[in-house]
Structure 1
């Protein structure tokens, strides 16, 4: 029936059916639902790998909705204008969405809400992207946290709310919302060029795949997570950062599944060490919340030094050395292996991220923002809050950061976390190397048969130069 107006559901980074407060409440209204995704300028500004990955997420989510009898309507343009036009055309009873917390999204959502309410249309937003919303966690003085440990102590025992399963039934709207866009016409993977086919082989796409990965992790590798999560040559991590970034799995679902392991509610046969592993894993989920907490309270964290005293530090800008870093040609095997992993898979092991960030900002004295921008272009699990926090943490300019004089030695890091060289061999000489050369732009003119590059700078020399610059800044 088309005589009942639809409730429009505006999806962004919440492309899932389960653990979705907005969708769960919408299903209970009995209203016909019109799910919408808007490709607005902010979304179009994503890096190449993130745009490609968004396209894959939309394919999977469209299929999940179709199985429930709903069609995802695609539209392009400024969100406020598109949504007002759609609400007018359909006579919508309301428009709902899940909240985001970066400054552009907050401003955009506030404008949309004011615009629609001015037309007498219900505009309602929901939590869903995080365990705890940034404005809901405060220090005893009423402000935001700046240090992780007290933040973690504040949330670790707090119930994030239920992770409700996907609605058994959804009522789709069978009216005509007007001509929608075709996903293929958006060409979201265009900038990836030949790299898309390579990265696709490493991607974890869709809600079902994410849930399966969570189950496999909690019934296996989680037991060794505290001891092995930093090993570059082991599959010891959850691999859930990618689906989490696009909302293909909800943080509450992960939280409660891991808590059930800690509390002994797991299936028979789960390793007895899983409780401590799950606790360490949950702490990483807390770090994700902490990153968004900081970005909400300090919106310029991705563009400015958190600590103003770092504004005078003599960071170098772009250079031939920085370009060699991007291309995995620094001459430091573990750094080059990690940069190849990034380009071929769209992801990078977390320990490797710290190693390459330290090398860029300290051995090469290069501005952390240059590294952040490259990650933004290459990561399929791009998360603006986590990446800004992590880059500033390594550089020393951020809140609760590692001190600048903590300079990772790539060789000792490799010996500790890749002791047999398997990670380096895979990306420098093995199947990983083949993937990297297949994905790398032809304009890079890389020759797989070329000898390894000469190190850009001696490790001792680079460390001494970095410390001299740091000490000079303190004088």
Structure 2
């Protein structure tokens, strides 16, 4: 049994460096069989996240090949696949990195129980977050509901150093059968949008490491003052790579700490934003309902509109509000959206259009290549006012004044909204190449009139809020 192989089940940890599961398994010296499983939970991903995951799998498989190993691909329910693979290879154990999204967590609990019942060791490891969600407790022993106390609780907490990639990976005597990634067709739902988004994706562990280094060299000093300007190239972009585990949050944390020790101006704010991601996973673990219903139950009676024609114009980037439309078109062209733009677009949908935050949550889940279930849920509930530590409902972002403050020269709006420019650039035109043809959109169309006047929408939202509290 000492020489029996170990199966390494990779999911959102597509990296060699600072991968606790991989490091511990490699240290045993036993043969290792890396596997990625296209199970029903993974099949359920939205169009853009599933497509981007496929790119990540391809890059990780190539990295394993360079390290003398390989990635086995199998399709089917995770427990069935793992038991069958253990039977084929004589593997005595399965290791994986923990994930706390509710459906993934339920799957993993069932897999662990099923493997042990079959006489196969099953071990889960940390690695997706800096702090395991249950490790950070209030003075009373509960979980944190507000971000600022959470930040204060973790900002000086010791964090183990990031692990180097294993020098060697034990190789199985013979490799089991593997399916072909191309046969999975993970980008099928992206249709023609994939060709537009792919130049904007930064894929794989090496690219993620380079991205972090470039941010530290070129942008972190401007980060605090300019991070809310969507046309300014000062954000790290690492949310995409953190989503698929192409870089560890611990690696990014220590890089931020070093920058802070060096006196870099934006380092503290950057660390705070990284901890916002931690806070989101902390909440998702302790209150999984945040992903599917109002975290504040008193919001259940609020007169949210379900999906509607106005929401469709929002999805299309055709609301007649340039800042909002630029945000929605950025999403189609790049697969991401600047954080300030997410706040503006989210506020407009939930407040000016009085549309349920879950409509926006579902759209982002389908369109974001950096989709993160915890951050997406917390972000939408924050901007809608229904979540923990939420923006007050009466804080209604005005797209016009926000544009004046954060896009004063109109660079962001003109980059993505072709109708606002006499000579639209590549990104503005690419939008029309990416969207569904059934929308019937073209760059020579007239820019639409606003769905609702900003003052009118604000008053309507405040009136609804007043009735809720009446």
Q: How does 1:393-432 map to 2 (within 5 A)?
A: 393-429=382-418, 430-432=425-427
Corresponding residue of 1:26: 25
Shift of 1:207: 0.5
Alignment of 1:63-462 (within 5 A): 63-177=62-176, 179-264=177-262, 274=264, 276-429=265-418, 430-462=425-457
What per-residue deviation string (whole Å, max 9, x for no partner) do you get for residues 39-78 of structure 1? 1111110000001000000000000000011110011111
Mean CA deviation greater in 430-439 or 445-454: 430-439
Q: How many corresponding residue pairs?
A: 464
What does residue range 20-59 of structure 1 map to in structure 2 within 5 Å? Answer: 20-59=19-58
CA distance in 2, matches of 1:117, 1:232: 50
What aligned pairs does 1:3-18 form with structure 2 within 5 A after superposition? 4-18=3-17
Alignment-derived partner of residue 422 in structure 2:
none
Q: Secondary structure at the match of 1:180?
A: coil
Q: Distance in 1 between matches of 2:332 and 2:300?
A: 30
3-state secondary structure, aligned to 2:74:
strand
Q: Give the Å deviation of 1:3.
A: 11
Partner of 1:201, secondary structure, is helix
Query: What residue in structure 2 maps to residue 267 of structure 1?
Result: none
Looking at structure 2, the residues matched to 297 and 263 of structure 1 have their Cα atoms a distance apart, in angstroms, of 33
- TM-score w.r.t. the length of structure 2 is 0.97
Match of 1:463 in 2: 458
Contact 2:291 2:377 in 1 (8 A): yes
Q: Which moved more, 1:422-431 or 1:205-214?
A: 422-431
5+ long unaligned stretches in structure 2: 419-424
Whole-Å separation in 1 of the counterparts to 2:230 and 2:112? 46
Q: Using the alignment, how far apart are the partners of 2:280 and 2:44 within structure 1?
A: 21
Distance in 2 between residues matched to 1:127 and 1:81, nearest whole Å? 24
SS at match of 1:347: coil
Tell me, in whole angstroms, the C-alpha distance in 2 between the residues paired with 1:114 and 1:388. 29
For 1:460 and 1:102, locate their aligned partners in 2 and report how far apart those are by CA, in whole Å: 39
Shift of 1:4: 4.1
Separation of aligned partners in 1, 2:326 and 2:259: 34
Q: Whole-Å Cα distance in 1 between the matches of residues 3 and 275 of structure 2?
A: 42
For normalisation by structure 1, the TM-score amounts to 0.96
Are 2:2 and 2:30, in contact at CA under 8 Å, matched by a contact in 1?
A: no
| Matched residue, 1:269 | none
| Structure 1 gap ranges (5+) | 265-271
Larger mean Cα displacement after TM superposition, 368-377 or 159-168 = 159-168
Alpha-carbon offset, residue 165 of structure 1: 1.3
DSSP-derived class of the 1:135 partner: coil
Q: For 2:217 and 2:281, how far apart are their aligned partners in 1?
A: 29
1:147-184 deviation digits (Å, cap 9, x = unpaired): 0011111111112222111112112213242x321111
SS of the residue corresponding to residue 8 of structure 2 reads strand
RMSD: 1.2
Counterpart Cα distance in 1 of 2:459 and 2:318: 22
CA distance in 2, matches of 1:24, 1:50: 27
For 2:260 and 2:370, locate their aligned partners in 1 and report how far apart those are by CA, in whole Å: 27
2: distance between equivalents of 1:174 and 1:279? 49
